[in-house]
Chain A
Amino acid sequence: MNLDLKKLKLRSVNEKLQSIDRKKNNRKFTISNPEGNHAICAGLTENIDVTIKGHVGYYCAGMNQNANIIVDGNVGTGVAENMMSGKVHVKGNASQSAGATAHGGTLIIDGDTSSRCGISMKGIDIIVKGSVGHMSAFMAQSGNLVVFGNAGEALGDSLYETNIYVKGKVKSLGADCEEKKMDKKHKSKLKELLKKAGSNIKPDQFKRYGSARKLYNFNIDNVSNY
């Protein structure tokens, strides 16, 4: 079923997609003419497929649960922010704070993201096929961030337990983030993530970054690390 945002109000489109009956057979939707509108597909809870044809604005697919959302274009700030489960696939570039605070699910971005990708992420898997901007994975707590391209300044600043995998160059690491050994466990997890994103790049080409765990509790000897 196609939902045309030139003819329908954004709120009615979101309400429709938010209240799909569990037993309903028609579970495939397309949205045309998004024209940069904000909060498209925010708050979906059912396992439906939605393809958005065009560029969208802020908070697209925010708070998603179960839905499989494809954006055939670019996304604005905060795509899939606070996602709980499901999958969001962006075919273009993403703006700031992609996957911010998200607890679960998978976010795949074919292009680049700007700053603060995965800020405060809490369990989501984010796979970026391009590069990420500065302060990515800032205060990231759990989950995985995979970057095929380069990472900007201060990657993983004040990091907790998120694993960051970068294939390209890292401009600089943030406070308490360091390069870590890639052991078997991480290689197999990374292989699984790459498979999810339909890539056959070998995990060996990536470097892993994680928390040095020096800033978990305040310690005067570490004051220069803050």
Chain B
Amino acid sequence: MCGIVGIYLKSKKFEKSLGGMLSKMLISMESRGPDSAGFAIYSSDKNKNYKYSICLNEMSFEKFKKEIKKKVKFSSVEKNSDHIVLKSIEKPNKILPILESYEKISLIGYGKSIEIFKQVGSPSNVVKKFNLDNFSGTHAIGHTRMATESAITTNGSHPYSTGEDECLVHNGSLSNHNNLRRKLKKNGSKFNSENDTEVAAGYISDSLKNRNLKQTLKKGLSELDGFYTFIAGTHSGFAVLRDEIACKPAVIAETKDYVAICSEFQAMAHMPNVNNAKIFEPEPGIVYSWGK
């Protein structure tokens, strides 16, 4: 089943309450996905630092900090429950191999504006654990998971990020992910789980090298076989796509201040002025996108 949610702010008015609004959406979508939850929040970083979102798993924060100090120059490392956000001006091609050499930790995402947090457990526990209510930003995407084809782990949770400032959440299932994973691996993509959505995220990252997000998703219609409603995020905004059968639901509300997308309307019933918003369902096979 799974629940997907997203908010894109058109004006600065609600930037400080972004985390609080997303948190309510995720809690409301608990009935669609009680196994794990996660969210990606985008905000502009004026320091031009890269932010590396990492789940420490069993590794202790002190030990990690001590070790990473020797290898990487960083401006700050912030702990949030079992996750950390490492900020550094060092480029990903230098830092990623170092982080990947730690077997215990999971690199969840990186980029100049994205921060990702995801964990197993009910959405209400997950948002409380990471204090989502206190986050601000320009846009955000979230997911509540009802696990089907792979294990309930942090690496099996959404959002999936396979490129700089990119992320993907998915309601549905893909049937050609094993084949596609093999193809993408040959082109140099790396995967950390057996999950189908991670393959779709890898597919999008690979395709974005030569195309924009809208073109990528359009191409995906013929290459990603299965059921899906996707929300794909980038540093500037997000795009939504439903497969052509459109069994997986989505509803969008748009006002002059924001765009909200959820699996079910009840998840956005708390949004400001939602009853006067333009409310519609994304049509099958059509890419919708918002961005600056």
- Whether A93 contacts B279 by the Cβ 8 Å rule is yes
Shortest CB-to-CB span from B246 to chain A, Å, is 6
Q: Judge whether A47 is part of the interface by a CB distance below 8 angstroms.
A: no
Bound together, the chains give a CA A93 to CA B281 distance in angstroms of: 9
Interface pair B265/A115, CB less than 8 Å apart: no
Question: Contacts of B251 on A, CB cut-off 8 Å?
Answer: 76, 95
Tell me which residues across on chain A come within 8 A of B281, comparing CB atoms: 93, 95, 114
* B284 lies within 8 A of chain A by Cβ: yes
A55 to B249, CA, bound (A): 16
Contact B249 A96 (CB under 8 A): yes
A55-B279 contact, Cβ under 8 Å, with A36-B267, A37-B266 = yes
CB-CB under 8 A from A56, the residues of chain B are 265
Complex CA gap A35/B283 in Å reads 23
Within B239-271, the residues touching A (CB, 8 Å) are 246, 249, 251, 264-270
B290 at the interface (CB under 8 A from A): no
- Give the contacts of A41-81 with B (CB-CB under 8 A): 54-58, 73-74, 76-77
Do B246 and A115 have beta carbons less than 8 Å apart?
yes
The residue that B265 contacts in the complex, of A36, A114, A133, A134, with Cβ under 8 A, is: A36
**Distance (whole angstroms) from the CB of A116 to the closest CB of chain B:** 9
**Closest CB in chain B relative to A151 CB, distance in Å:** 14
Size class of the contact patch on chain A: 20 to 34
Q: Chain B nearest CB: distance from A45 CB in Å?
A: 26
How distant is the Cα of A148 from the Cα of B270 in the complex, in angstroms?
33
B249 touches A77 (CB 8 A): yes
B267 x A115 contact (CB < 8 A): no
Q: State A97–B266 Cα separation when bound (angstroms).
A: 18
Does B280 belong to the interface (CB within 8 Å)? Answer: yes
Given contacts A55-B275, A115-B284, A74 and B265 within 8 Å (CB-CB): yes
Chain A residues in the interface with B (C-beta under 8 A): 35-38, 54-58, 73-74, 76-77, 92-93, 95-96, 114-115, 133-134
Sorted nearest first, the 5 A-B pairs with minimum C-beta distance are A36-B266, A36-B265, A35-B269, A36-B269, A114-B281
Cβ-defined contact, A114 with B246, below 8 A:
yes
Chain B residue numbers with a CB within 8 Å of A73 are 275
Which of A38, A55, A74 has most chain B Cβ within 10 Å?
Answer: A55
Contact assessment for A95 and B266 in the assembled complex, using a CB-CB cutoff below 8 Å: no
Select one of A74, A92, A95 contacting B249, CB under 8 A.
A95
Q: Name 5 extra pairs, CB < 8 A, besides A38-B266, A76-B264, A114-B283.
A: A36-B265, A55-B275, A56-B265, A95-B249, A95-B281
CB distance from A97 to the nearest CB of B (A): 10
B82 to chain A, nearest CB (A): 33
**Whole-angstrom CA separation of A77 from B244 in the bound complex:** 17
Residue of A nearest to B275 (CB): A54
5 pairs, CB–CB < 8 Å, chain A vs chain B: A36-B268, A36-B269, A38-B266, A76-B249, A96-B249
Contact in complex: A93, B280 (CB < 8 Å): yes
Given contacts A74-B279, A114-B281, contact A57 B266 (CB under 8 A): yes
Instruction: Note all chain B residues with C-beta closer than 8 A to A55.
Output: 265, 269, 275, 279
Q: How far is the CA of A115 from the CA of B247 in the complex (A)?
A: 9
Give the chain B neighbours of A95 by CB distance below 8 A.
Answer: 249, 251, 281
* CB-based contact A134/B266 at 8 Å: no
Shortest beta-carbon distance from A49 to chain B in Å? 22
A93 CA to B264 CA, complexed, in Å: 14
- Within the complex, what minimum Cβ distance (angstroms) separates B233 from chain A? 24
Q: Within residues 200 to 217 of chain B, which ones have a CB less than 8 A from any CB in chain A?
A: none
Bound together, the chains give a CA A36 to CA B249 distance in angstroms of: 14
Q: How far is the CA of A19 from the CA of B60 in the complex (A)?
A: 59
> In the assembled complex, which residues on chain B have CB atoms less than 8 Å from the CB atom of A115?
246, 284
Distance in Å from the Cβ of A10 to the closest Cβ of chain B?
11
**Cross-chain contact A134 with B284 (CB below 8 angstroms):** yes
Max count, chain A CB within 10 A of own CB: residue among B265, B267, B275: B265
Closest-CB distance, B228 to chain A (whole angstroms): 15
Assess A35 versus B266: contact at CB under 8 Å? Given A55-B279, A95-B281. yes
Whether A76 pairs with B265 at a CB distance below 8 angstroms is: yes
| Cα distance A73–B265 in the bound complex, in angstroms | 12
Q: Give the chain B neighbours of A77 by CB distance below 8 A.
A: 249
B75, chain A: closest CB distance, angstroms? 43
A37 CA to B251 CA, complexed, in Å: 14
